[in-house]
Amino acid sequence: MSTRASQPVLLVEDTRSLAMMYENVLKNAGHAVECAYLAAEGKALHKGASGRLVLLDLMLPDGDGLDLLSEMREADPTGKVIVITANGSINRAVDAMRGGAFDFLVKPFDERRLLSAVDNALLEIAKSGRARRAKPKLEVGGFHGFIGDSPGMREVYHLISEIGRSTATVFITGESGAGKEVAAQALHAESGRADGPFIALNCGAIPRDLLESEVFGHLRGSFTGAIADKPGAAAAADGGTLFLDEICEMDLALQTKLLRFLQTSTVTPVGATTPRKVDARIICATNRNPVEEVRAGRFREDLFYRLHVVPIHLPPLRERGEDVIVAAESFLRRYSADEGKRFTRVSPELAEIMRNLQWPGNMRQLQNVMWNIVLLHDGEEATPDMLPPGLAEPMKAPQPQAQRNGAIATDGAAPPIGVSARVEPLVGATMAEVEREFIEATIAAHDGSVPKAARVLDLSPSTIYRKRESWAKE
């Protein structure tokens, strides 16, 4: 059911044929519309507005749409602006989102996409009736599943709150275990799609020859083993959010199909000839540096710019101050309740050690450490002697990350904990030999468990299995 505006939607579009088409779609859906064909006309009609929705073409003959956006946002902070841009100017849409636009539409777009963006914006205007809150509401110790209240995380919470209602794609970066899926779920919960499905797909955990079917679905008999029709993750996320984790693991051929899906909002299952419309918000994540992946030719540049509209970087645990203690005690109490133990806090001595650890596995590693303590010990207070062996040994500090939200992440993780310190010098060995030695040492340090080693190494288990198969043939 569409939300109605309290005043006409202001449409600023210089191509009159397009303006007429958009106006008809909006009026047929019950919206009143006021049209302007020049920046000056749009500015005049917007003057004195409060809580107004604007559809703004960024390419206007008498002014820059980004400048007009800035003026409108300053004049009417409670209003929302949806920008319209051509497919070849996606970088302008990115700039617009960072400049305060609520959402963006890339020409050509269909009626469903237009009305969805308009309804979401009007719902947000109606919901607040005033300026958007400057700070997000924190739950006890965190926000939508996150734990901690450090300045870096407050910035993340604020950003998620600001862009949650938008349908723009979001690109989440951060080290392994930093909480990228938690961030994606928080964005979904803050969105107008919260009642719809949240579908998560790890692109690195699925064999490449099956990934297309997992994303877009397949028809029965389209390939060996396809014994029934399968809708795929994109179709399953219709009306909700599709989260593609480890997006940089997707091969180039499938990246091309993903780009087409983003441009057309249609999917074609493997073996099908007719596409179907899908309305899903895309959120993706990686623990790699996506810019380096583009430079290396492993990730399509046009897809990167199409996905990298709103970037969110999650700071590593070692840069989050007291969050490590808050989270440790939260996990300690939770696991103690599950296991019938008495733990309620960490000792001051243990807290000091934990503040100085590098935590290359971030929150995931901290969870495992606290679970280990609860399983093997008991008492009201966790102490340093309860730490898993080798955890508190000095480690090489990672390279600093000069990273803020809105920039590109770099991966400066320290060597994984648990890998034996007795690695002999490998000078003279080939890179392939060094890689094999390191992977096998990590597997051995985790009692032969490939999945555990894969988590530490930021690889998918299938990647390690394939490498070991190739090594066995040498």
Res 393: pLDDT: 54
Q: Which of 330, 360, 386 is the last residue of a domain?
A: 386
The Cα–Cα gap between 137 and 155 comes to 12
Q: Does residue 426 sit within a domain?
A: no
Res 248: pLDDT: 93
Domain of 272: which CATH number? 3.40.50.300
Do residues 19 and 117 share a domain? yes
Radius of gyration of the chain (CA): 25
Domain of 375: which CATH number? 1.10.8.60
Do residues 328 and 463 share a domain? no
Do residues 209 and 286 share a domain? yes
Q: Does residue 391 sit within a domain?
A: no
Q: Does residue 97 sit within a domain?
A: yes
The Cα–Cα gap between 194 and 123 comes to 13
Q: Are 149 and 142 in contact (CB under 8 A)?
A: yes
Res 423: pLDDT: 40
Do residues 286 and 163 share a domain? yes
The Cβ-side half-sphere exposure at 345, using a 13 Å CA radius, reads 4
Q: Does residue 309 sit within a domain?
A: yes
Q: Does residue 393 sit within a domain?
A: no
Do residues 302 and 335 share a domain? no
The Cα–Cα gap between 229 and 219 comes to 4
Q: Which of 328, 361, 386 is the last residue of a domain?
A: 386
Beta-strand runs (E) in 16-79: 33-36, 53-57, 59-60, 63-64
Res 5: pLDDT: 64
Do residues 33 and 56 share a domain? yes
The Cα–Cα gap between 377 and 263 comes to 55
Do residues 233 and 270 share a domain? yes
The Cα–Cα gap between 259 and 257 comes to 5
Which 8-state DSSP code applies to residue 449? -
Res 128: pLDDT: 61
Do residues 169 and 222 share a domain? yes
Do residues 379 and 256 share a domain? no
Buried b (16+ CB within 10 A) or exposed e, 389-428: eebeeebeebeebebebeeebbbbbbbbbbbeeeeeeeee
Q: Are 96 and 150 in contact (CB under 8 A)?
A: no
Q: Which 3 state secondary structure label does DSSP give 472?
A: helix
Res 446: pLDDT: 77
Res 109: pLDDT: 84
Residue span of the structural domain in which 447 resides = 431-472
Q: Does residue 245 sit within a domain?
A: yes
Domain of 86: which CATH number? 3.40.50.2300
Tokens of 71: 């003026």
The Cα–Cα gap between 97 and 85 comes to 12
Domain of 468: which CATH number? 1.10.10
Q: Which 3 state secondary structure label does DSSP give 103?
A: strand
Do residues 154 and 24 share a domain? no
Do residues 247 and 207 share a domain? yes
Residue at token pair 């300045």: 151
Nearest to 180 by CA among 311, 314, 363: 314
Nearest to 312 by CA among 145, 171, 144: 171
pLDDT tens for the chain, 474 residues long, are: 456 666 899 999 999 999 999 999 999 999 999 999 999 999 999 998 888 999 999 989 998 889 999 999 989 988 999 999 886 667 787 788 878 888 888 888 888 888 888 988 888 787 665 444 444 554 445 689 899 989 999 999 988 988 887 888 899 999 989 999 999 999 999 988 888 999 999 998 888 778 889 999 888 888 777 788 888 999 999 999 999 999 999 999 899 999 989 888 888 888 888 888 898 999 999 998 999 999 999 999 999 988 988 899 999 999 999 999 999 999 999 999 999 999 999 999 999 999 999 999 999 999 999 999 999 999 999 999 999 887 755 444 444 444 445 444 333 333 343 333 334 445 556 667 777 888 888 888 877 777 778 777 877 777 787 788 777 766
Do residues 235 and 278 share a domain? yes
Nearest to 409 by CA among 277, 282, 316: 316
Q: Does residue 288 sit within a domain?
A: yes
Q: Are 11 and 2 in contact (CB under 8 A)?
A: no
Q: Which of 328, 356, 386 is the last residue of a domain?
A: 386
What is the total count of domains within the chain? 4
